Structure 1
Amino acid sequence: MIETIGTNAGLIWNALDKLGKMDVKALKKATKLRTDKELYAALGWLAKEGKLHFDEVGEELFVELIYL
């Protein structure tokens, strides 16, 4: 399970690096992740590493990479 989460985190990082800031629905589509659980576990991984910035706009949650 941990390996899958790490792999999915890589998919998310690559999508955000290529496409930039996007909402979670678009991110799920761009990464072709099947479930919300897969998406949010991988987002949690990247967030814990300090690689993501989250922005709430109304009901939407936007995600973008933090480049150090």
Structure 2
Amino acid sequence: MIKADIGNNAGRIWQYLDEKGESTLADIKKDLLLKGSEARMALGWLARENKIFLYGDEDNWSVILLY
């Protein structure tokens, strides 16, 4: 996976959270058809930019968009 793909997936996740609100990692992966590694890398990108807040344990993360 290249950096552009990670950035594109981060954008897709940001838009998803903007529309849906708080979501779980499982829902994000299912609804956006992302592999676990793709979703985690994109969430890392968003977390590094302080765009999201993650909580829960590794198997059941919840994600909130920060504006």
TM-score calculated relative to the size of structure 2: 0.89
Runs of 4 or more above 3 Å deviation: none
**RMSD across aligned C-alpha pairs, in angstroms?**
1.2
One-letter identity of the residue aligned with 2:54: F
**Higher strand proportion:** 1
Structure 2 equivalent of residue 13 of structure 1: 14
Number of aligned residue pairs: 65
CA distances 1:11-61 after superposition (whole Å, capped 9, x unpaired): 10011000010110001112121x11100000000000000011217x521
The aligned amino acid for 1:39 is: A
Per the normalisation by structure 1, the TM-score is 0.88
CA–CA separation in structure 1 for the residues paired with 2:4 and 2:47: 17
Where does 1:1-68 land on structure 2 (aligned, <5 Å)?
1-33=2-34, 35-56=35-56, 60-67=60-67
1:10 CA displacement:
0.6
Unpaired stretches in structure 1, ≥5 consecutive residues: none
Consecutive unaligned residues in structure 2, runs of 5 or more: none
Sequence identity (%): 38
